[in-house]
Amino acid sequence: MGLFDKLRNELVDIIEWVDDSNHTLVWRFPRFKNQIKTGAHLIVRPGQKAVFVHRGELADVFEPGHYELKTDNMPILSTLMGWKHGFDSPFKAEVYFVSTKQITDLKWGTPNPIMLRDADFGPIRLRAFGTYSLKAIDPAIILKELVGTDGEFNADEVTELLRSIIGSAFADMLGEKQVAALDLAAHYREMGDELKAYVNERIDDEYGLEVPQMFIVNVSLPEAVEQALDTRTSMGVIGDMNKFQQYQMGNAMMAAAENPSGGGASDGMGLGMGFAMAGKFMNATGQPGGGMAGQPQAAAPPPPPPAPAFHVALNGESKGPFSPQQISEGIRAGQVSASTLVWTAGMDGWKPASELPQLASAFQAPPPPPPPPVPPVG
């Protein structure tokens, strides 16, 4: 400290702390050799307390206000220094300002997953995070347990300790409450209040601090469990999987039809999807392998003889095998024409579909409409 600073500190008779930070808990007033002039003025602003320390012993504590330092308002310090008849000369004492306002926007989180036994999932790991606020309530304990001889003490210096205390208290609370993992979100507010009480029990008497507010922002499951839950939710939204598959295949067929540049591959894909969709529709409406929901099942008849399986030539590639019903559906859809080459077991080569007895009837022209009825003779 230079000579000018030394002289200035000896002449200054106002002791105050203009706090321009949001995270400072304790600040020591700088004074050359801790000398304070007789009749100095002490200004303690709202949200502060001033503590006088003499030779390591806690003396007087001042609440917010404006004071002229005299023996009558400094009884403890006067006793410690042996002032029986007042004092007229500078005296030595350390002055600490303690912030009693809330320090907000502090964050906490579980550094490691918490292992629990859940009613729905069995053994499970949970992570959590949130925010909290911090406030000093007992300057004497803070100075003794945390500050020591530091000239400035910030909240950042104690947040690591608080995060550990909050994480431990959160694990204890979850173990006692036994709330199902899927129901945790409905209890965030209630659990936040209980967690605040858990934490305050551990820090108020030991460190002179208090947590006025505690919020649980999120409790998360492992990523694999969340993906499984998303899949399960999607299946519940879809409902009937058979109808969903039919809808998807219908969309694919329309996309293939609207893409004329797809070539043979898209034609074959559209034909295959059309045949598969026809087969699913027939199963859903009573063909073997299906059945209408809610109707009683009759005794199963003996299995029919196996139907011939047909292969269809499209763009030089063989597609299939397809059942006669699927081929008929392809004919009605215009995907199989009379000249389309087909083959089935027992044939000596590929032939047009219209030349096969099993398929020829599908290409015959429908009969003309019947003539109108003859009116009766009056």
205 and 182 in a common domain: yes
Query: With 0-12 CB in 10 A as exposed, 13-18 as middle and 19+ as buried, what is 278?
Result: buried
Q: 26 and 50, same structural domain?
A: yes
Residue-number span of the structural domain to which 325 is assigned: 314-344
User: Is residue 352 situated within a structural domain?
Assistant: no
Q: What is the pLDDT of residue 85?
A: 46
Number of helices (H), then strands (E), in the chain: 10, 19
167 with 80, same domain: the answer is no
167 and 72 housed in the same domain: no
What are the residue ranges of helices labelled H in 208-304? 223-238, 241-257, 263-284
Q: Token match 């003779």: residue?
A: 377
Q: Based on the fold, state whether residues 108 and 216 are members of the same structural domain.
A: yes
User: Residue 169 is encoded by which pair of tokens?
Assistant: 């208290």
Same domain, 108 and 40: no
Residue 216 burial class via C-beta count within 10 angstroms: exposed 0-12, middle 13-18, buried 19 and up: buried
pLDDT in tens, 200-258: 998 988 999 999 999 999 998 878 777 777 676 776 666 666 766 666 676 676 676 66
Q: What is the DSSP letter of 76?
A: H
Same domain, 86 and 175: no
Q: What amino acid is encoded at 219 in this protein?
A: V
Between 158 and 39, the higher pLDDT residue:
158
- In tens, the pLDDT along 79-128 reads 766 655 455 556 778 899 999 999 988 999 988 888 888 887 788 888 89
Residues 111 and 26 in one domain: no
Could you tell me which residues are beta bridge partners of residue 310? 322, 344
Instruction: Give kind and range of the element (H or E) at residue 333.
Output: none
